Structure 1
């Protein structure tokens, strides 16, 4: 297969670089108060969930030294 090349004038290419559209994108709609409040509430819920899981999980991450001390005392007593 061969490609068919059509000549394009240089003036057309130069014009294409300078072309500006007169179509303007519509302005974004302003967020309503209820939408902003909903976003804040969602963010606070996520943060509260993370903090709550950390608070609940901290005792599980704490090393219990009392059980090790009881085991060592029991082994010394034998």
Structure 2
């Protein structure tokens, strides 16, 4: 595919990369005390739920333990 060699017809497209605004955004509002407490409680609830599900789910993930004595089949007992 060939490339066009003519200049860009619109000046604002050519200057878009170096445009800087002189307007500063307003400062961020600090969260109130109740918002901080709410976020903390939600975080603790999520962590406690994950820890609880891990503790309750661990027994299901364990493999069954083989008995210490060897089991013999009934056919071998007949002799």
Matches of 2:72 and 2:52 in 1, distance apart? 38
The list of structure 1 runs, each at least 4 consecutive aligned residues, that deviate by more than 4 angstroms after superposition, is 5-8, 19-22
Q: TM-score, normalised by structure 2?
A: 0.59
Instruction: Tell me the TM-score normalized by structure 1.
Output: 0.60
**Unaligned 5+ residue runs, structure 1?**
none
CA distance 1:7–1:60, shift in 2 (3 Å): closer
Q: Does 1:39 align with 2:8?
A: no
Higher relative contact order (CA 8 A, sep 6+): 2
Q: Which has the higher helix share?
A: 1
Q: Which residue of 1 aligns with 2:67?
A: 69
Shift of 1:7: 9.0
Unpaired runs of 5+ residues, structure 2, are 1-7
